[in-house]
Structure 1
Amino acid sequence: MKIKICGIRRHQDIEYVNEFLPDYIGFIFAKSKRQITSAECLVLKKELDPSIKTVGVFVNESLEKVISTTLVANLDVIQLHGDETREYILDLKNILKNSTSLKDTLVWKAIRVKGEKDIISGDKLPVDCLLLDSFSKQSYGGTGKTIDLDIIKSSTIKNQFFLAGGLNIDNILNTLSEVSPYGVDISSGVETDGFKDRNKIEKIINCIRRK
């Protein structure tokens, strides 16, 4: 089970993840209370344990901005969390494929799930992994709202996928007993008053890895 802690933005956050070693951390470049710049990301990444992969989260951003940010921040994964189309994804992957510096960069696509048809459509996209998140009219992610597991259980998903949306220490084991994702993406569930909490990170990572 892969673990991603998203919304990293402080030096303390890096200290916490270096201690407990999730597989991935996410830096948010879209408008958000957790947003950081590519320059800030690069500073934080220099302090990061090299075993942890970095994911850049983008929402309806231009290809030029995605590529320039990925280069500056030296990201391992580009996570598209908006309304990006199949054509957009193909153009992005073509740019990555033809770039010496970026050819190994992965592309993930977040799907804001309202119903099974969202999963079916998302599963056809030319990406390396999906991230299934809860739907909200107000935000593209990070709301703390849980996803309807019955929709996922009734769907056949060919792609590897991360599960996101309101995961925390109180619901993680029950969630993983009902669905079997490739990984889990946790953000607000390891925060206190809007900031990453060392003890919550420790508890949920240990809980998942003991499963």
Structure 2
Amino acid sequence: MTQIKICGLMREQDTQVVNEVHPDFAGFVFAKSRRQISLATALKFRQLLDPSIPTAGVFVNEPLENMLNIYRSGAIQIVQLHGHESEETVKALKEAGATVFQVFKPNAKITPTAADYVMLDSGNGSGITLDWTRVPKAPHPFILAGGLTPDNVTTAINTVHPDVIDVSSGVETNGQKDPDKIRAIVATTHAN
């Protein structure tokens, strides 16, 4: 079964549908973005979410101490690195107990990393779909992101065979999470 992460939760009702469909991970965006939330909001959402659903925090070139403070607050269990963070940062986060998702962009060389998962993403919730036939074989548990929707996720899984898919814009309507799209993509992903 392929796992799935629903990223970019912005409203309390987003936590309700996530609890209903029980994806494998949920994500909060701390980086500058239209989906960015505060630590206080993330802590509130963490309280609303089923405790068995791990939460990831999305960061771009954030100082290590800030990421550690958010991790230690209990809002997240996973640190997702979308910037140019060093291997020293990855190792420091892991030493603190965090799970680390290291993100690579299309056409970037996937370099060896101490991160727990490697993610290939077309661009920070942009909705741009990757050319799945050109996705390199990753040496780690592998996460595929970028332009995934309920309509194309089966093709993506069958082409790339990721361990996890990560979706944000592909389950939105008019810039907000759409419960029906979330239900559809979680059911489809877990069936593959």
TM-score scaled to structure 2, two decimals?
0.94
Structure 2 gaps of 5+ residues are none
- The structural deviation recorded for 1:91 is 3.4
> What are the ranges of 5 or more consecutive residues in structure 1 without an aligned counterpart?
97-102, 136-140
Counterpart in the other structure of 1:132: 120
- 1:27-63 CA distances to partner (integer Å, 9 max, x unpaired)? 0000000001111100111111112111011110001
- Alignment partner, residue 131 of structure 2: 148
Question: Is 2:142 the counterpart of 1:161?
Answer: yes
Q: 1:165 to 1:196 in 2, by over 3 A?
A: same
| Aligned residue identity for 2:63 | S
Q: Which residue of 2 aligns with 1:190?
A: 171
Letter in 2 for 1:118: K
- 2:72 and 2:56 map into 1 onto residues whose CA distance is 12
Cα distance between partner residues in 2 of 1:90 and 1:207? 34
What displacement does 1:148 show?
2.0
Q: For residue 41 of structure 2, what is the aligned residue in structure 1?
A: 40
Amino acid at match of 1:144: G
Aligned-partner Cα distance in 1 for 2:157–2:137 = 17
Q: Deviations over 1:83-106 (max 9, x none)?
A: 112233233334x1xxxxxx2x21
Normalising by structure 1, we get a TM-score of 0.86
What is the root-mean-square deviation of aligned Cα atoms in Å? 1.3
Higher Rg: 1
Aligned residue type for 1:129: Y
Q: Residues of 2 paired with 1:82 and 1:10: CA distance?
A: 25
Letter aligned with residue 58 of structure 2: V
Q: Work out the CA distance in 2 between the residues paired with 1:21 and 1:110.
A: 24
Identity of aligned residues (%): 41
Distance in 1 between residues matched to 2:142 and 2:132, nearest whole Å:
14
**1:64-79 mapped onto 2 (5 Å cutoff):** 64-79=65-80
